[in-house]
Amino acid sequence: MPFRDLVGHRHLVELIARAVARGTLPPSLILAGPDGVGKLTIACAVAEVVNCLDPVRPVPDLFVGEGERGSAQDGRDGPTALEIDACGACRSCRRLRRGVDAARRGDDAALDCLRIVQPDERGSIKIDRVREVIAAAAYRPFDGRRRVVIVEGAEALETGAQNALLKVLEEPPSGTVFVLVTAQPDSLLATIRSRCPRLRFGPLATGDVVEALVRHGGHPPAQARVAAALADGSVGRALRHLAGDLTDARDAAVDMLRTAAGAGDDVHRRLAAAQELLAKGQGQARGKRGAPTRLDVAERLEAMASLVRDLGVVVTRADARRLANADLAPDLARLAKAFDDRRVGRAFDAVGRAAFALERNVGHKTVADWLALQL
């Protein structure tokens, strides 16, 4: 996607475009910020512009995002020009877009000039995968001008993988740019952080989320506004609300509650319950594969909070019409046999604290294990 079609983060887009145009793009970058705000999309746009066969210079009247019109946050009165952008129409741009679409579906991008490294089914990035892209980085790409290696979810890099990556960052190859995309930059080694300039992404403005949903997703404005209001500045989260595809999240929450309900004081069984929260989901509606991301775990905790609230309704024999998950009434009735009103109260408090810890970048597994011991 060309820079001009991106929504939000105007000052960061201008900064990157200026670096590309002037030949000062660093050989490695960290794009850090909340999940679902466009970090990966911008990283892919970098790959497109550096490999474009007919780049546009300059790009007049840049305007990205309703939420940034006349923004006072960066001291500008209106839109400005990008110094360079991809044409979006040449053979290279079209090929890169197809590769990005394939990667988002969980398939191999099948491009030498764009390597996207993602966590495996266990939620980690191992040293062998990093060594593979390092070996390729020793040569110029055969299908483009520069290779862009994007490490999505870089916080999942194992220690050995980070050390292997550090070696190539110390002496970066001229034909490759490394972009580490992460919501938890402090989980990276200090030596890696010191060698990679960090671009900090914040949540998108609500107007930007609405624009992304309408312009790129084709959603009706009224629905987009409702989803954006619930999304906390994340397009990814808004899309999940619109899709209504919370089946994986709710199923994982039910499985964890069911396992914890019968675990008693058995620590091993409780830790087994924690694995239910981190289990691989089907993700069929989203075309997603692999281990759940931080955003997935947050969604599962949100679903669990709703289920525990419903347990309170069942346990206290309140009006069943108050159930948010009425279709799971039989499951809730079975769970209620193990949860009295005091245990429901403790569980609800524990889920809230777990969600808060996840927001503070505590690791997925640590959050899941702690919650399982509290339920």
53-63: per-residue pLDDT in tens?
A: 999 887 665 54
Q: 269-284, pLDDT tens digit by residue?
A: 888 888 888 876 654 3
Q: Rounded to whole angstroms, how far apart are CA atoms 31 and 19?
A: 15
Pairing mode of beta strands 28-32, 114-117: unpaired
Close Cβ partners of 73 (under 8 Å, ≥ 6 residues apart): none
30 CB neighbour count, 10 Å cutoff: 23
pLDDT grade for 80, boundaries at 50, 70 and 90: low
Q: Rounded to whole angstroms, how far apart are CA atoms 166 and 178?
A: 11
Close Cβ partners of 367 (under 8 Å, ≥ 6 residues apart): 297, 301, 354, 357, 358
Q: Rounded to whole angstroms, how far apart are CA atoms 271 and 276?
A: 9
Q: 222-278, pLDDT tens digit by residue?
A: 778 767 766 778 888 788 777 765 567 778 888 888 888 887 778 888 888 888 888
338 CB neighbour count, 10 Å cutoff: 16
Q: Rounded to whole angstroms, how far apart are CA atoms 130 and 161?
A: 6
DSSP assignment of 56-92 equals: BSSB-S----GGGTT-TTTT-SS---BS-B--S-SHH
Query: What does pLDDT average to over the chain?
Result: 83
Q: Rounded to whole angstroms, how far apart are CA atoms 282 and 313?
A: 29
The pLDDT assigned to 51 comes to: 93
The fraction of the chain above a pLDDT of 90, given in percent, is: 31
Rg (C-alpha) for the chain, rounded Å, is 23
The pLDDT assigned to 230 comes to: 62
Q: Rounded to whole angstroms, how far apart are CA atoms 139 and 173?
A: 8
Average pLDDT score over residue span 163-169: 92
Q: Rounded to whole angstroms, how far apart are CA atoms 183 and 35?
A: 6
Q: Are 55 and 225 in contact (CB under 8 A)?
A: no
Order of strands, edge to edge, in the sheet holding 28-32?
114-117, 147-152, 176-182, 28-32, 198-200
Alpha helices per DSSP H over the chain: 10-21, 39-51, 91-104, 127-137, 159-170, 190-195, 206-215, 221-229, 235-243, 247-261, 267-277, 294-315, 329-336, 341-359, 364-374
Q: In one letter, which amino acid is 94?
A: R
The pLDDT assigned to 225 comes to: 78
Alpha-carbon distances of 151 from 76, 112, 120, 258, rounded to whole Å: 33, 15, 12, 36
